[in-house]
Structures are given as C-alpha cells and as structure tokens.
Structure 1
C-alpha cells in the first residue's frame, strides 16, 4: 500500500468516525458498503476490516457520551454482558453463510427500523425520557438480540439497539445512542476476534481507517449533543435508509 492509499484511508476513516460519533454506531454501516463498492472486498472481508475501525471508535464514542450523559452503568453492563455472549454466536454463523442472504436480510431490517422511526416522529411530539423504566429482562433480551445481529453482520449492536431504545423504551436519542455504544463494546470486540481468527480482515486498510476515525469521532459526539433531539432522530432514520440502499447496491 503506497502513501496515497494510506492517506485516502485515513481521510475515509475520519469521515466515518465523524458520522459514527454523530449517530453512536462506530461507522461500520457506511464502511462495509464503501469497502465493498470502492475497494472490491467481499462481504465477510469488508465486515472484518470495518471492525478494525469500529472497535476503537465505539470505545471513544462511549466515553464521550458518558461524559455528557452519565450513562447508568448497571443498565450498560446488563446490555453488554448479554450482547457479548450472543455476538460470538452471530459472528461464528456469519463466517459460514452466503454473503447475499445476510445482506438482503439486514437491508430489510434497516428499512423497517427507518420507516418505523419516521412513523413515530409523526405520531409523537415527545423527545423521549432520560431514564429506563423497563424491567431487567427487557434489557437482557435487547442485549441478546442486538449482540447476535451485530455479530452476524459485523456492525456492532448499536445500530440495532438505538432505534429499539427510542421506539420501544422511549429514551431520548442521545441517551439511547450512549447506552447502545456500551452494548457494542463487547459485541464488536468479540466479533473482531472471530473474524480475525478466520482471516477475514485486511489489516493494512483497517488500521489507517481506525486512526482516522479516532481523530474525528469526538467531534461527531459533540455535534450530536448540539442538535435538537427530533432532528437527530430524523437524520438517524434517514441514515438507516441510506445505509440500506448502499448495502443493497454493494
């Protein structure tokens, strides 16, 4: 890899880190189709390479969200522990599945979440509550489901958990994103390890992406907290639709 390619990957990582910080997802949803479309990586290799960037982005974003929101760590640990266990199962399944089948299912899932988010915005004027009222087993179920899906598709559980926390748990967008990031830390880490031992990572691309993302993710978190909640939720729903289109065409 020459210096131009390294700089290009650093810049791309910076853009993905900024978006990941704004939406609290680590940037993997954009990185995966980008690596497939522009760099010709197959689905599993794109997912594994994106995770090299996603893991440090998630760690940095979670810390920044915690500084601003004071995440309830009992809830975070509950989500994270169940996410960790099921992410490994999802990742093990992913390395042996057909690429297009995985992608098609996830595209449909993203479209459904996006449409439902828009519907919720039309029906409710509330920006959400700032604490969780559901019982522990609801969080355990969310952690398990999000971890499994995140491991299966290599995107971490945050993209799954965030809309569920806003739609069904009634949380504000920024609090949902912060909690989702705490869930994503163990799930993305174990997923990265699983992809690595199956040789599904391009490290020479992934490391510059990770460095670029670390440099910008904090700015994304700052932007997220400066936005009106409803606007952030609209942008998040639109982001899900764009990601679905990119994945469908990659």
Structure 2
C-alpha cells in the first residue's frame, strides 16, 4: 500500500518535471549553457526552494548535459591534455572548496550574489555584441590554472557560470579562437559540475526526486536546441541570451523578495 501511495505521488511530479526539463534542455542547447541559469530561478521562485537547494538540484540537470557536450566536443576538436589537465585540477579543487563554503552562507546573501552575477554577465554580453573576432595567439599554459580557479569559484559558489567566465577570458584575455575557448571551457565546467554536485549532495542540498526527471527531459531536447542555434545569427542569439539573463535575475529577485 505504501508503495502504491508512493507511486501515486511520483507520477504527477514526473508529468510536470519531464516537460520542464525538456524546455530547459532545449534552452541549454540553444544558448550553449548548462540550463542552470534558468533552472535555478525557476526552482527558487516557482518551487519555493532555498537558493542552495535550487543550485544543488539544478546541477543534477546540468551534469549529464555538460559531460555529454564535453565528450562530443573532444571528438570533433581534441585539445592537448597539457592545457586541459591543469585547468581541470585547479577548477575542480576550487569548486569543491567554494561549494562547501556556499552551503554555509545565508540563502538570502547567496541569492543576492546570484542575481548580481546574472545582471553583470548580461551587461557584459550586451557590450561585447559588436566586438570583432580576435586573431588567435599561442596559448600561455602558465595562465591556464588561473582560468580554472576563476571558473571553479563560480561553479562552486553559484553552481553555474564556470564556462561563461572562462570562455571570454580564453577568447579575449588569452587570445584564443572561439572554438578553442569553448572546448577549454567545457573541459573546465564538465568535471567541475560533477564535483559541485557531489559537494551539494554531501550537504543535503539536492532534491533528487525533482532533479532526475528534469535531467531526463533535458537530455531529450539538447540536440534540437543545438541544431536551431546553428541556423540563427550569432549576434541575435547573444542578445537574446543577455535579455534572458536579465529576466531571470529580476524574476528571482522579485519572486523571493
């Protein structure tokens, strides 16, 4: 009888979470993100989760998509392990430390930091819309671990943003082509997202009953989002992404004020 009651409570959750996960997966594929940027405000404002719980649960959705994306990217654009490994190690260690720190913060402070991060990121994207592409420079391997530390700080503290920080640093500061920057960013965020998930789960900040069906729905639609992204103008996509970030920040702030 208890098992039947458990199933009766599970099916409505599945019927709600699967299409939500599918929508988030599509947006993740469309904008080249791990979906957490939209999922976290939705979980806080729409489901009443605390900020740390939302960040931990959103990582369940993000991890399989990021690991799959990294694997596929490596198949098409393999990168030297001399560049990848130091960044992965520095990012993973920083993520682990900051994730444990994030779970000790007041959720209101963490939510405020998250909103500010989204807003600043959106403003930076809008400013970079008309910037011409840079010519590639030799990769400075001495600075790669620093990129990992900065990306790991964002992944651990906020559960998102490692690639969104790393990609502009690699393409602008270190002068890498966009494809190289994206490949290195995926090498940073894919293992870091897994480390962050383990840290949040260890602190009891993951709702697996919601996160797993969200992840299942997301996996089904990521490829469709990627396919559409390749047919749309890059500048228009960047603008739409920046506007979405601002809306998510306002929704999160107003929905929980």
TM-score between both structures, scaled by the size of structure 2: 0.85
Structure 2 residue aligned with 1:47, among 55, 63, 67?
A: 55
1:171-200, Cα deviation, whole Å (9 max, x unpaired)? 555554443222111211111111111111
Between the aligned partners of 1:157 and 1:200, the Cα distance in structure 2 is 20
Structure 2 residue aligned with 1:35, among 33, 38, 43?
A: 43
Name the counterpart of 2:106: 98
- Does the aligned pair in 2 maintain the 1:24–1:181 contact within 8 Å? no
1:219-230 matches, within 5 Å, as 219-230=224-235
Name the counterpart of 1:231: 236
Structure 2 residue aligned with 1:241, among 223, 243, 246?
A: 246
Count of aligned positions: 247
Between the aligned partners of 1:85 and 1:92, the Cα distance in structure 2 is 11
Q: Which runs of 5+ in 1 are unaligned?
A: none
Between the aligned partners of 2:176 and 2:247, the Cα distance in structure 1 is 24
Does 45-54 or 178-187 show the bigger shift?
178-187
Between the aligned partners of 2:122 and 2:142, the Cα distance in structure 1 is 25
1:49-128 matches, within 5 Å, as 49-71=57-79, 73-122=81-130, 124=131, 126-128=132-134
Name the counterpart of 1:160: 165
Bigger radius of gyration = 2
For 1:136, what is the secondary structure of its paired residue? coil
Q: Which runs of 5+ in 2 are unaligned?
A: 1-8
Aligned-residue CA RMSD (Å): 2.4
